[in-house]
């Protein structure tokens, strides 16, 4: 009996160690990305693709109805003049600071129109403002459309910035956010970049109560090398993530999903945070997120 006990002790210790490592890995993965508070209850789902570029960014892709003949334009911003910015409201302050550990102060003056494009600038100048961790060291922009729509094709042509600690995003939130907040309002991240290696990786997300969905694509060139068309095709039964006309992620409707009412569009360039980490010594400022246009369509019929 004594011999048996002595032999079982290392086995039990090894089992406990394995369980602790697995539990730690699960928790790290579970909370590696969250835009709202850490109190979410999440059901992880994911999809990943790696592929060559499309020869025709507007071509119809398998699993998608991205033939433009199927859509009617309902809203757009081509950023031809400063008047285009009147279609947006601007967040001011260190929103995203305490919960997400972001380091920027959002300031409307960091959004400008240059050469028919929206330029969102993250600058290493805190403007004398106070952030959650003391004096702010960065300013940037978060802007949201007054327009909201349920279902359709939502797309933007964007050149993403590169650099550690930069967190650019083209995303959407339910227009009832101020009443029910996240995650109940629902969140769709059409294109979101952590700037972790590799520089070719694109991610999209969906957040809701008991849902954490991640779609991922790996492009042939770094996202910062040029403009790409980032989009979702959203119906009553499914959300599909696309880049340059090619689908790389799908989320099917489920009982109680909150993606059944109008959503607003958000353009955002955060600095630092739980997901990307702080800027590094090699991160160049000012950094820009350049947006050629944003368009929204509804399906014909």
pLDDT of residue 68: 82
- Residue 264 φ then ψ, to 5°: -90, 155
> Do residues 125 and 131 make contact, with C-beta atoms less than 8 angstroms apart?
no
pLDDT band at 58 (very low <50, low <70, confident <90, very high): very low
- DSSP-derived letter for residue 163 is S
User: Given 36, 187, 217, 244, which residue is catalytic?
Assistant: 187
Quote the CA–CA distance of 267 and 147 in Å, as a whole number: 13
> Do residues 151 and 234 make contact, with C-beta atoms less than 8 angstroms apart?
yes
- Structural domain containing residue 245: 39-299
17 and 124, same structural domain? Answer: no
Query: Which residues is 267 bridged to in the sheet?
Result: 143, 170
pLDDT of residue 67: 72
Indicate the pTM of the whole model. Answer: 0.81
- Averaged pLDDT for residues 150-164: 97
Give the chain's domain count: 2
140 and 112, same structural domain? Answer: yes
90 and 208, same structural domain? Answer: yes
Query: Which residues is 215 bridged to in the sheet?
Result: 47, 204
Three-state SS at 129: coil
The string of pLDDT tens digits covering residues 119-131 is: 999 999 999 999 9
Q: Two tokens at 167?
A: 């967190």
Task: Please say if 233 is a catalytic residue.
Answer: no
Comparison of pLDDT for 30 and 293, the residue scoring more: 293
- Averaged pLDDT for residues 292-298: 98
Residue 25, pLDDT above cutoff 60 = no
Q: CATH number of the domain that 162 lies in?
A: 2.60.120.200
253 and 139, same structural domain? Answer: yes
45 and 2, same structural domain? Answer: no
Quote the CA–CA distance of 146 and 175 in Å, as a whole number: 10
Task: Please say if 192 is a catalytic residue.
Answer: yes
Quote the CA–CA distance of 169 and 275 in Å, as a whole number: 12
pLDDT of residue 66: 61
213 and 123, same structural domain? Answer: yes
User: Given 107, 175, 189, 192, which residue is catalytic?
Assistant: 192
295 and 263, same structural domain? Answer: yes
Going by C-alpha positions, the residue among 267, 91, 273 that lies closest to residue 170 is 267
User: What radius of gyration, in Å, describes the C-alpha atoms of the chain?
Assistant: 21
* The residue count for the chain: 301
What average pLDDT does the structure give for the chain?
83
pLDDT of residue 96: 83
272 and 240, same structural domain? Answer: yes
64 and 22, same structural domain? Answer: no
């Amino acid at each position: 009996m004594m011999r048996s006990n002595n032999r079982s002790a290392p086995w039990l210790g090894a089992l406990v160690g394995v369980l602790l490592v697995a539990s730690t890995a699960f928790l790290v993965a579970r909370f590696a990305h969250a835009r709202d508070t850490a109190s979410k209850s999440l059901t992880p789902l994911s999809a990943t693709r790696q592929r060559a570029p499309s020869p025709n960014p507007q071509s119809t892709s398998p699993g998608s109805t991205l033939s433009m003949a199927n859509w009617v334009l309902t809203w757009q911003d081509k950023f031809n003049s400063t008047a285009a910015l009147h279609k947006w409201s601007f967040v001011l302050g260190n929103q995203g600071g305490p919960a997400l550990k972001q380091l920027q102060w959002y300031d409307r003056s960091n959004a400008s129109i240059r050469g028919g494009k929206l330029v969102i600038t993250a600058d290493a100048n805190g403007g004398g403002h106070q952030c959650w961790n003391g004096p702010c060291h960065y300013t940037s922009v978060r802007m949201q459309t007054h327009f909201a729509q349920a279902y359709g094709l939502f797309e933007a042509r964007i050149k993403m910035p590169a650099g550690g600690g930069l967190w650019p995003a083209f995303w959407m939130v339910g227009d009832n956010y101020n009443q029910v907040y996240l995650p109940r309002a629902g969140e769709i991240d059409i294109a979101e970049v952590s700037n972790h290696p590799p520089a070719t990786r694109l991610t999209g997300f969906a957040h809701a109560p008991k849902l954490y969905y991640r779609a991922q694509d790996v492009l042939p060139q770094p996202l910062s090398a040029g403009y790409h068309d980032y989009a979702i095709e959203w119906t009553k039964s499914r959300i599909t993530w696309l880049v340059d006309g090619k689908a790389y992620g799908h989320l099917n409707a489920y009982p109680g999903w909150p993606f059944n009412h109008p959503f607003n569009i958000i353009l955002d360039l955060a600095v630092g945070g739980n997901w990307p980490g702080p800027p590094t010594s090699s991160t160049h400022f000012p950094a820009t997120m350049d947006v050629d246009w944003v368009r929204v369509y509804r399906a014909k019929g």
